[in-house]
Copies of this chain bind each other. A is one copy, B any other.
Amino acid sequence: MSIIQTTCTPSSLYSGDRFSVAYRIYGSENDARAKAEDICIEQTVEFPAECVGEGTIRDQVFGRIESFERRDGESFAAVISYAVEVAAGELTQLLNVIFGNSSIKPGIRVEHLELAPALLSGFKGPRFGREGLRVLLGIPHRPLLSTAVKPLGHSCGELADLAYRFALGGMDIIKDDHGLTDQCCSPFEERVELCAEAVRRANRETGGQAVYVANITAPHGAVMRRARFAKAAGAGGIMVAPGLVGFDVMRELAEDDAVGLPVLTHPSLQGSFVTGQGGMSHSVIFGQLARLAGADATIFPNFGGRFSFSREECRAVVRGTEVPMGRLRTIFPAPGGGMSLDRVPEMLETYGRDLIFLIGGGLFKQGADLVENCRYFRKMVEAMD
Query: Which residue numbers of A lie inside 8 Å of B, CB to CB?
Result: 1-2, 4, 7-9, 13, 38, 42-48, 51-52, 56-57, 60-61, 85-86, 88, 90-93, 95-97, 99-106, 150-155, 157-158, 177-179, 181-186, 217-222, 241, 243-246, 248-249, 251-252, 267-280, 301, 306-308, 360-361, 364-365, 367-370, 373
Does the CB pair B269–A272 fall under 8 Å?
A: no
Does the CB pair B361–A47 fall under 8 Å?
A: yes
Does the CB pair A152–B45 fall under 8 Å?
A: yes
A360 partner residues in chain B, CB cutoff 8 A = 46-47
Does the CB pair A86–B268 fall under 8 Å?
A: no
Q: How far is the CA of A371 from the CA of B280 in the complex (A)?
A: 41
User: A299 CB to closest chain B CB, in angstroms?
Assistant: 11
Contacts A46-B361, A97-B179, A100-B244 known; list 4 others, CB within 8 Å: A57-B154, A91-B219, A101-B178, A276-B278
A367 partner residues in chain B, CB cutoff 8 A = 1-2
Known: A2-B369, A370-B2. A249 touches B252 (CB 8 A): no
Q: How far is the CA of A370 from the CA of B219 in the complex (A)?
A: 43
Does the CB pair B92–A244 fall under 8 Å?
A: yes
Q: Which of B177, B182, B184, B219 contacts A252 (CB 8 A)?
A: B219
Q: How far is the CA of A44 from the CA of B275 in the complex (A)?
A: 21
- Most B CB contacts (10 A, CB to CB) among A85, A97, A103, A307 go to A103
Does the CB pair B93–A270 fall under 8 Å?
A: no
A1 partner residues in chain B, CB cutoff 8 A = 364-365, 367-368
Q: How far is the CA of A43 from the CA of B280 in the complex (A)?
A: 23
Known: A158-B8, A278-B275. A151 touches B370 (CB 8 A): no
CB nearest neighbor in B for A363: B2
User: A316 CB to closest chain B CB, in angstroms?
Assistant: 15
A268 partner residues in chain B, CB cutoff 8 A = 96, 100-101, 103
A183 partner residues in chain B, CB cutoff 8 A = 85-86, 88
Known: A8-B155, A246-B220. A306 touches B38 (CB 8 A): yes
Does the CB pair A364–B153 fall under 8 Å?
A: no
Does the CB pair B90–A182 fall under 8 Å?
A: yes
Q: Which of B88, B105, B267 contacts A307 (CB 8 A)?
A: B105
Q: How far is the CA of A150 from the CA of B47 in the complex (A)?
A: 7
Q: How far is the CA of A113 from the CA of B4 in the complex (A)?
A: 45
4 A-B pairs with the lowest CB-CB distances in the bound complex, closest first: A276-B276, A104-B271, A103-B271, A246-B246
A102 partner residues in chain B, CB cutoff 8 A = 271
User: A4 CB to closest chain B CB, in angstroms?
Assistant: 7
A279 partner residues in chain B, CB cutoff 8 A = 272, 275-276
- Most B CB contacts (10 A, CB to CB) among A44, A51, A154, A365 go to A154
Does the CB pair B248–A245 fall under 8 Å?
A: yes
User: A311 CB to closest chain B CB, in angstroms?
Assistant: 16
Does the CB pair B45–A153 fall under 8 Å?
A: yes
A307 partner residues in chain B, CB cutoff 8 A = 104-105
Known: A272-B272, A272-B280. A4 touches B46 (CB 8 A): no
Does the CB pair A51–B267 fall under 8 Å?
A: no
A-B contact pairs, 21 of them (CB 8 A): A2-B370, A2-B373, A8-B158, A9-B153, A46-B150, A46-B178, A48-B361, A61-B185, A86-B183, A96-B179, A100-B241, A100-B268, A101-B271, A103-B271, A104-B307, A219-B248, A219-B251, A219-B252, A220-B220, A220-B246, A271-B278
Q: Which of B9, B51, B278 contacts A361 (CB 8 A)?
A: B51
CB nearest neighbor in B for A185: B9
